Amino acid sequence: MPNLQLLLQTALRKSNLSLFQDGQILASLSTLLDHRSENTYVEDIRSMLENNKLKAAMLDEVFLVHGPGFFTGIRSGTMICKAFFQQIRAKFFLISSFDYLAQGIREKPCEYGILISSTKREGYYKKMTNNPEQNDAIMIEYSQMKTVSTQLPVYTENKSLALEYSFHWIDVQPWLPDQFNEVNRLEDIAPNYVRSEEDLFQP
C-alpha cells in the first residue's frame, strides 16, 4: 500500500501544506503570511485531499513543524494536528523550524547558524552543529547578527534580511523532514514558541 503523508508547515512566513505519497509530492500550497494574516488551512487541506480523491482517514503520517516562528501560524498548525490526532489512525511527528530549514542547505558547514524572522527588530537564532541539541534557541536582534555572521555562516528564510545583512537565503520549499520526533500522546503535540505566550504580546 502507498504511504500517504501530510506536511503541516505553518510556522514560517512562507507556510506550506503538502501531500506526499511514498515521499513524492502529490499536492502543495504555499502562502506568504504576516502577523495579521487570516488563514484557510482547514479548507486548503480539505481541498487538497478532495482534489486527489483522498480522505483524511487515509493518511498514514502527519508531520507538524511546530516552531519557532509566527505565533498564529504555530497555534493554527498545532490545533489542526491535534484534531487529526483525535480523528484518524496515523503516525504523528514534530519537527522544529530549525531542523526543517536545515534541509534547505545543500552543503552544510560543520557549524552554522539559522535565523528565523519574527518581529521587525529580532528573530529566533540557533547555532547548528553535529549535535544541535546542545545549543538552545534564543531571541536576538538582527543588528547583533552582524557579529555572529563574522564567526560562522548564517542562514535565514527571510530574503530581505539575507540581502540587508549578507546572510545566506533559504528558499523554503515543501520537503519531508529527516529530523523529527514521533509523538504518541495528544498532550505531546505542543507548540515550540521559544518565548512564552505572555512575552509574545508585550509591546
Q: Which three cell numbers stand for residue 131?
A: 549535535
- Statement to judge: residues 113 and 127 lie in one domain: yes
How far, in Å, are 37, 64, 122 from residue 176 at the CA level?
25, 10, 28
- Statement to judge: residues 85 and 177 lie in one domain: yes
The pLDDT assigned to 198 comes to 46
Average pLDDT, the chain: 90
Please state, as a whole number, how many other Cβ atoms lie within 10 Å of the Cβ of residue 158. Answer: 22
- Could you give the maximum distance between any two Cα atoms of the chain, in Å? 52
Using the predicted structure, report yes or no on whether residue 138 has a pLDDT greater than 80.
yes
- Statement to judge: residues 176 and 91 lie in one domain: yes
Using the predicted structure, report yes or no on whether residue 104 has a pLDDT greater than 60.
yes
- Statement to judge: residues 142 and 61 lie in one domain: no
Instruction: Give the helix/strand (H/E) hosting 116.
Output: strand 112-117
> For the residues 22-44, what does the mean pLDDT come to?
83
The pLDDT assigned to 121 comes to 94
Using the predicted structure, report yes or no on whether residue 203 has a pLDDT greater than 60.
no
Q: What is the CATH number of the domain that holds 14?
A: 3.30.420.40
Per-residue pLDDT tens for 40-94?
899 999 999 999 999 999 999 999 999 999 998 999 999 999 999 999 999 999 9
Report how far residue 108's alpha carbon sits from residue 97's, in angstroms, rounded to the nearest whole number: 16
> For the residues 10-39, what does the mean pLDDT come to?
86
- Statement to judge: residues 84 and 156 lie in one domain: no
- Statement to judge: residues 54 and 112 lie in one domain: no
Using the predicted structure, report yes or no on whether residue 199 has a pLDDT greater than 60.
no
The pLDDT assigned to 200 comes to 42
- Statement to judge: residues 176 and 189 lie in one domain: yes
Question: For 51-55, 100-104, 173-177, which range has the lowest pLDDT when averaged over its residues?
Answer: 173-177
| Number of domains, the chain | 2
pLDDT band at 195 (very low <50, low <70, confident <90, very high): low
- Write the CB contacts of 143 (distance below 8 Å, at least 6 apart in sequence): none
- Statement to judge: residues 113 and 165 lie in one domain: yes
- Statement to judge: residues 114 and 91 lie in one domain: no
Please state, as a whole number, how many other Cβ atoms lie within 10 Å of the Cβ of residue 70. Answer: 23
The pLDDT assigned to 178 comes to 83
**Boundaries of domain holding 152:** 105-169
